[in-house]
Structure formats: C-alpha cells, structure tokens
Amino acid sequence: MRYDLDDLRLFLHIVGEGSITAGARRTHLSLPSASARVRALEHHAGVDLLIRGRRGVRPTPAGSTLARHAREVLAQTARLDSAVASYTRAPAVPLTLLGGSSAMHRLVPRALVTFLRAHPDVDVTASESRTPRTVRMLTDGAADLGVVVDDEARASGLRTEPLGDDSLVVIGQAGGILAGRATIPYSEVAEHPLVGLDTGSALRRWIDKHVGPHAPVARHRTTVAGLNVLVALAAAGVGLAVVPRRVVDPGEPVDVCALEDPWARRRHLLAWGVKAEAPAAAVTALADHLRRAALAEPPGADA
C-alpha cells in the first residue's frame, strides 16, 4: 500500500500528543478531518493502529511499528528535499584563503571546521602559499583572506591585523643534544643532521632565504611534506628540525630550543584582499573563525 506523507505526520503528532484532537491541531486540521484520515490509514493497513480511551489514545503494537518507520521515512524525505534543494540555489563564488606551511598545519584546518559547519552554503578554497605570492593575489583581487608573515607583508598596503606568534624553534629528541639549553644559533643547528620540509614549502623557502650565505650547508637526512611527520622524525632522534613553536604540542616528547637569530622571531598577520565578487559577510565570518582558531592554540604556542 501507499502511505501519504501528510497522514504519517498526522499519525506521529497524534501518538506524540496522545490525542487525536491535539494531533489535528498540530497539523492544522479539523478534528473530523483528522479522524477520517486515521480511519482511512487503519483501513488501508488492515489493522487497528490506535487504542482509543476516555483520556486519549495510545498506539497498538502495529501503531508503534508504523510510528517508528514513519519517523525514518520523514527524516529521509527531509534529507532528500535538502539535497535536491541545494541544486536549485545559485552557486556562490567560493572564498579563497591562503596561508603558509605553519598556518596550514593547524590554524587554518581548525578555522575551516567551525566555519564550514556554521555556513553550509559557503565553500572555501584553501591553499598553501608563500607570503609574497599571497600578498600579490590579495592585491590583485584573486584571494579573499591570507595568513601572512609580518615582515614580508608589512609594506603591502593591505588591511592587516595581528593573528599570533609564529616564531621558529629547534626541536630534537628528548634528552638529546638540545637538553638543558634554552637558545641556540642556527649556525650551530646546521652543524647537526637535520630533517626538514620539502624545498618547495613556504617554511623551507623562508628558512633558506634568511640563513644567509655564511651559514654552514645543512645536511638534511630527509625531507617530508608535512609538519606532523617532521615533528615525529625529530622526536624519534632522526635529526633536528626547525619548526614554528605553535606546531609543537606541550606534551610532545621533544626538547624545544629557541633560535637566537632575529629572523626566527616572526608573527602571523591576517590580511584582507580586495576581491569584489565575494560576499562581505562570509569573508568577515571566515576572518572571525580564523581569530578564534588562533586564540585556541595550545598553551605555550605563543611563548
């Protein structure tokens, strides 16, 4: 037999309220109309669905089974309606968010999780990008927001705001060659075997740009694509690693040593682009989620 969705909704309201009168009211039907629908439903089912009493109604075993399946059917119908309706909306221009290796490690993913959940109709294209390229794209209107390094974006003319510390540190196996030290110059770090990010990554390019021509040529035992793997290799004693302090969790089994070099002290800025197509409200909301993500960094990340 075929079930009418409106009849199923009515039946669920009646069961939920324990009254045909109350169920009729919930579905904006008259009592005679609601009663007729229930009788027709029972006729088609070939079994009584409600036990009628002086103080209301309650479902029979068959009625309880119908109610349980009716809830599932109506829930599936609602999901179907939502899925189909998504194709009727005009597609919005995706927001474009850029950031370097450090920002893409934890800050941007954390912000995307909360933003995309809160804004199901807005899409975001997030890509790793070095600060000079990010600044160009923001200036040219090819991106909406960027997480950039302060000294490379300070004179860009873009609207910026502080987002958090992104200073670099050296990490190594706990109890290893960094044990008992608070600071170390990069020239000494480079005398030891290192593990690093791939040469095309934003962080690796930053380090190579700033170490200068007189620094020892570092020996990288291996290079990897992600900071998670890099931290794990350093913790295992494969080599020292230069990473942003913010990516090292407080409970990580590594020794952490600040770099003495001035170029290692840097800060993240949130930079706004001039992209005209993007809805201003969505860009503002994404910026707010990035601020919250920055504030949620683990204790010690901004030390």
pLDDT digits (tens, 9 = 90+) for 29-88: 999 999 999 999 998 889 999 999 988 999 999 999 999 999 999 999 988 887 776 666
pLDDT in tens, 150-159: 988 888 889 9
240 lies in some domain: yes
Percentage above 70 pLDDT, the chain: 94
Please indicate, yes or no, whether residues 119 and 258 belong to a single structural domain of this protein: no
Same domain as 37, residue 23: yes
Average pLDDT score over the chain: 89
Which of the pair, 280 or 184, is modelled with greater confidence? 184
Strand partners, 58: 51
Q: Helices 31-45 and 5-17 sit at what angle, rounded to 10 degrees?
A: 110
Check whether residue 64 and residue 190 sit in a common domain.
Answer: no
Looking at per-residue pLDDT, the higher value among 299 and 188 belongs to 188
Residue 216: pLDDT band (50, 70, 90) is: confident
* 185 shares its domain with 251: yes
Burial of 253-282, coded b for 16+ CB within 10 Å and e otherwise, reads ebbbbbbebeebebebbbbbbebeebeeeb
Supply the CATH number for residue 71's domain.
1.10.10.10
Going by the DSSP 8-state scheme, the letter that residue 247 receives in this structure is G
**Structural domain boundaries enclosing 109:** 97-164+269-295
- Does residue 233 sit in the same domain as residue 214? yes
Is the predicted pLDDT of residue 22 greater than 80, yes or no?
yes
CA distance 150 to 166: 10
Position 90 in a domain: no
Claim to verify: residue 11 and residue 78 sit in the same structural domain: yes
Co-location of 37 and 101 in the same domain: no
199 within domain boundaries: yes
Mean pLDDT of 234-241: 96
E-strand ranges in the chain read: 50-53, 56-59, 95-99, 124-128, 145-149, 159-165, 168-173, 183-184, 194-197, 220-224, 241-244, 254-259, 267-272
Count of other CB atoms within 10 angstroms of residue 75: 10
Residue 303 included in any domain: no
Q: Would you give the DSSP letter of residue 28? A: T
201 and 259 in one domain?
A: yes
CATH of the domain at 233: 3.40.190.10
Determine the Cα–Cα distance for residues 285 and 291; give it in Å rounded to an integer: 10
180-198 confidence digits (pLDDT tens): 999 999 999 999 999 999 9
Q: Residues 115, 147: one domain?
A: yes
Same domain, residue pair 278 and 255 = no
In a domain, 50, yes or no: yes
Same domain for 154 and 275, yes or no, is yes
More confident site: 301 or 121: 121
Residues 143 and 277 in one domain: yes
Instruction: Specify the number of domains making up the chain.
Output: 3
| Gap between the Cα atoms of 184 and 171, Å rounded | 11
47-50 long-range Cβ contacts below 8 angstroms, 24+ apart: 49/11, 50/14, 50/20
236 is a domain residue? yes
pLDDT of residue 301: 41
Question: Could you tell me the pLDDT band of residue 279, with boundaries at 50, 70 and 90?
Answer: low
